[in-house]
Chain A
């Protein structure tokens, strides 16, 4: 298993097809946390599959202001049918041509099978990877790690904002 990009690394930008006639870029979502979930394939045969699970947890991700992107090497047409069938309310991106290019840039491509790894990345509002995890391909990693990462980001932002407020107040006093 190739190592996936680690926390602290700038998240490589990408632009991928999100529907047969629209594309989406990571930088379009700058300013808020983004969860990137690479997964091997649409249509896994179990009802509690990873994308279905995340679909149910979406309100929790949104509480942190985060966007969720699912990425596999399936085509936009395949994604459309899959999303429709599972009532998914978040975008699935097609890493279809050149195949797996984006997954490769994240170290999340499985050359032996030609599919994405089951790899998760939480990117902070500044476009830096805050957390990443590569799961054994057969094991759905769940969402606990994602939520913990979002909580950490949110706590750091609050601290950062308070720090700025303190600096600002100190400067204001100094000026006065």
Chain B
């Protein structure tokens, strides 16, 4: 079960008042997370009134050396209201992820390199990323991506059909008196 409730500090995509919350714990350098990304977007489109997405960081830094920096960069963009734009940019460029690419992505969003460079140098968002990670650990995250649907871990795959089926199940439960 999800230990860390969704709060103001979370990044939310979709209808904020949607009855179903899909929490994703992901790593920007994880190929499975990149593969899941279009499915999640399709799901949000298909269930635009029913589902909202919360993304939390779960960087596996020992095997993905760029994951932590990418997560902190996304948080920096988030502090300027551009979290999802950066998030999408990072996944779209996962196969060539590097510091210059992160700076270029930020610049393309109108965020000057100097600001991001300073934020990364001071580890401005390291504590937030770590808090996401630890909250995930306590919730039973067992790899990336791990999804929670209304607080319950989704042990199925990240294929669209599987995610949609889980959402349908949750909708059916919610509809019960």
Binding site for B on A (CB under 8 A): 46-50, 52-53, 55-57, 60, 86-89, 139-144, 147
Contacts and interface: CB of A to CB of B under 8 A. Distances in A.
B21 interface: no
A144 B60 contact: no
B3 A47 contact: no
B139 interface: yes
A52 B137 contact: no
Contacts of B142: 48, 50, 53, 139-142
A52 B140 contact: no
Contacts of A144: 3, 137-140
What bracket does the count of chain B residues touching chain A fall in?
Answer: 20 to 34
Interface string B44-63: 00000000000000001111
B39 to A, nearest CB: 17
Q: Is the interface of A mostly helix, strand, loop or mixed?
A: loop
A47 B140 contact: no
B45 to A, nearest CB: 26
Interface of B: 3, 27, 30-32, 60-64, 133-134, 137-144, 146, 155
A94 B137 CA distance: 27
A56 B62 contact: yes
B2 to A, nearest CB: 11
Contacts of A57: 137
A47 B143 contact: yes
14 contacts: A47-B30, A47-B32, A47-B63, A47-B144, A48-B30, A49-B143, A52-B62, A55-B62, A56-B60, A56-B61, A89-B62, A142-B137, A142-B140, A144-B138
A47 B60 contact: yes
Contacts of A143: 137, 140
Contacts of B60: 47-48, 52-53, 56
A39 to B, nearest CB: 12
Contacts of B31: 47
B62 A48 contact: no
Nearest to A47: B30
Given A57-B137, A87-B63, A144-B140, A139 B155 contact: yes
A56 B133 contact: yes
A86 B134 contact: no
A28 B63 CA distance: 30
